[in-house]
Amino acid sequence: MALSRRDVILAGIAVFFAWGFATNWIPTLRWIGYAFVAGLIVPIVGLIALLLLTSRGSQYGEEHIVRRPKGPAFLAATKWKKEIAALRTRQMHVRKPLVPDSFMVSCALDDFLDLILRDFVASWYGSISRNPTFTNEVDKTIRLALVNLRDRLLDIDLVEVVTTRFVPILTGHFKEFYNAEVAIRGKNLNRSVTESDELDLAIAAKYNDGKLHSAASLAFSDTKLVQQEYLRNLTQKLLPEILPESAIGSRAVGVLIRELVACAVLFPIMQMLSDPDMWNQIMEAYGRSMLQDRSTVRKLRAALDEHASPAQKSNRTAQFPRLSPEDHAF
């Protein structure tokens, strides 16, 4: 049987009066009521105080709202098409002639750059990626450096530089080497000394009173690291002179270009130039070609002399002029 509202109200009034009579008979029961009321009021007051003390208002939310970080600028709708066009432009590599006035020289330089890229770049980059964008950028950078170097060389007088700087350096080097060799082998270079590495080191110690180049110091048993460090410092000074700021503005790109130029290009070239066998082969090749040219000229002259018709001799003898007695009057 469901209770109506009237029944509930009457039951509440009856309970109220019964609780009043009970507390009148037993006064200690009133503390139960106090505890019940306090248990209801304290949580409600605490909740209201917590809301009032921790709420920061609507202005704080607008000022300290946590927003999602913005994406890269090139992802914007207005710039995406430009970035795609720029990427396609970078992927298109058109080689401009390094020497427009000479087609043969430009082709030779192109072949030389192809060999550099093949041996010093593609040999290790091919195992990383097959995308030619990086190789093309390296080729563009090298070409730009060569163009800047060409323009700087055209602005100076090469004859003056060779005669006033290179020739004195070479003559000074030959003189110091001769003095060092004389100090070891004797004045007439007739002192019997066994050819060995110790002899080379002894001559190097006497060269210029032991003041050698920093990359050829005798303080190191293996000068490879010293030579590479010297080439790094030299390349670090040369790069700002021949490359634009955009090419070396990034530290990572600058270090990569420096290492490629110093350790992968200049160091093998210096090792090749310092090898005496290379110069011996060059001199032998030139000497062989000169001897072959002389032999060819001799054979050609002999063939011409053999097939040439002999000069015809005249049987008539020329008459010697005679003087008459009247010739003295003239």
Note whether residue 295 is domain-resident.
yes
Note whether residue 135 is domain-resident.
no
Domain tally for the chain? 2
Res 171: pLDDT = 92
Closest CA to 241 of 138, 113, 149: 149
Domain that holds residue 28: 10-51
User: How far is 198 from 185, CA to CA, in rounded Å?
Assistant: 13
Q: What is the largest CA-CA distance in the chain?
A: 202
Res 173: pLDDT = 87
Note whether residue 71 is domain-resident.
no
Angle at which helix 251-259 crosses helix 224-242, to 10 degrees, equals: 120
User: How far is 121 from 248, CA to CA, in rounded Å?
Assistant: 18
Note whether residue 88 is domain-resident.
no
Res 330: pLDDT = 46
10-residue mean pLDDT profile of the chain (330 residues): values are 73 78 76 80 88 69 59 70 79 80 87 87 86 84 85 86 89 88 77 72 82 79 84 89 80 84 86 86 84 79 73 55 57
Note whether residue 75 is domain-resident.
no
Q: 111-165: per-residue pLDDT in tens?
A: 988 988 888 788 888 888 888 888 888 888 888 888 888 888 888 888 888 899 8
Res 318: pLDDT = 54
Integer angstrom CA distances of residue 17 from 11, 25, 138, 233, 311: 10, 12, 101, 104, 170
Note whether residue 288 is domain-resident.
yes
Note whether residue 179 is domain-resident.
no
